[in-house]
Amino acid sequence: MLMHPQFDPVALRIGPLAVHWYGLMYLAAFAMFVWLGRRRVRHEPYRTLGWQARDVEDILFWGVLGVILGGRLGYVVFYQPLTYLAAPWRVFAVWEGGMSFHGGLLGVLLAMAWWARRQRRPWLQVMDLVAPCVPVGLALGRIGNFINGELWGRLAPPDLPWAMVFPAAGPLPRHPSQLYQFALEGLLLFVLLWAFARRPRREGEVSAAFLVGYGVLRFAAEYFREPDAHLGLLSLGLSMGQWLSLPMVGAGVALWVWARRRPT
172-217 confidence digits (pLDDT tens): 999 999 999 999 999 999 999 999 999 889 999 999 999 999 999 9
Name the pTM for this structure: 0.89
Q: What is the pLDDT of residue 77?
A: 86
90 labeled part of a ligand binding site: no
pLDDT tens-digit readout, 8-29? 888 888 888 888 888 899 899 9
Dist. CA 183–CA 171, nearest whole Å: 25
**DSSP letter (8 states) at residue 184:** I
pLDDT tens-digit readout, 148-180? 998 999 999 989 999 999 999 999 999 999 999
Is pLDDT at 94 greater than 70 in this prediction?
no
Question: What are the extents of the domains in the chain?
Answer: 2-260
**What mean pLDDT is predicted for residues 247-254?**
96
Q: Alpha-carbon torsion 64, 28, 139, 21, what sign?
A: negative
pLDDT tens-digit readout, 47-87? 899 999 999 999 999 999 998 888 888 888 888 887 888 88
Dist. CA 4–CA 182, nearest whole Å: 16
Is pLDDT at 256 greater than 70 in this prediction?
yes
